Amino acid sequence: MKGLYAAMALVGLLLGLMVALQFRMTRDIAQSVPVQRAQELSARLAAVREERGALEERVESLRQQLDAVTAQPELTVLRRELEQARILAGVVEVKGPGVEVTLNDSNQPVQPGQNPNLYVLHDEDVLKVLNELRAAGAEALAINGQRLGPTSEIRCVGPTILTNRNKRLVPPFVITAIGNPDTMISALKMRGGVVETLQVWGIQVTIRKLNEVTIPAGIAPVKFEFAQPVTS
């Protein structure tokens, strides 16, 4: 009998060891690195999704606030004033009705005793045409594709005209202007005006009325070193 009890005890012990070993193996597998990594990634994914949802709500809230602010009449006025200032500064392309004025040297032979300089275009001739257009309400101007702004100069440099600091232009000079075409044409062609004076010396002047003129941007921003706004 003792031998039987001893055998049963040994069998029970072996069964217990087998159960314990299987439980340990199952626990080790559950706690292995791949499983732990998957659990960590799953937790991080859930956290990221929650954070994304919060950010989306924040974006929508800010968008609603922005829409509410930009809808204010004060900002509409400021936006319009900024747009007009950019047009005046020449930093944006513009289009509209206008005229095209082409100027070229005289094709007439120089008369004996006459100064040949009277038969060629000078910077002051071009400037007179530009000033007449401005006085007639031109809202944007360009010459040979160069946009003219408030600080653009027109001056003679040898046989060329210099504008926008370093842009050399040669005739024929093609001036484009946006504004009321009829008003500008009348100003240029008035009796005793700039066009009539130029044509006395055979300077070639051609004026075209255009339904739409496109004037490019191109004025470099001016950096003010001395002029400062006056604050009240």
Query: What residue type is 31 in one-letter code?
Result: Q
Q: Which of 117, 94, 97 is CA-nearest to residue 106? A: 117
What are the tokens at 140?
A: 């944007």
- 121: Cβ contacts below 8 Å, ≥ 6 apart: 103, 104, 105, 171, 173, 203
Pick from 204, 185, 173, 78: nearest CA to 132? 185
pTM metric for this prediction: 0.65
Per-residue pLDDT of the chain (232 residues; tens, 9 = 90+): 544 445 555 555 555 556 565 656 665 555 555 666 667 777 787 887 788 778 788 878 877 877 776 677 766 777 788 788 887 878 889 999 999 999 998 887 777 777 777 778 899 999 999 999 999 999 999 999 999 988 888 998 888 889 988 889 999 999 999 999 999 999 999 999 999 999 988 899 999 999 999 999 876 666 777 888 888 7
- Domains of the chain (ranges, CATH numbers): 93-215 (3.30.70.1880)
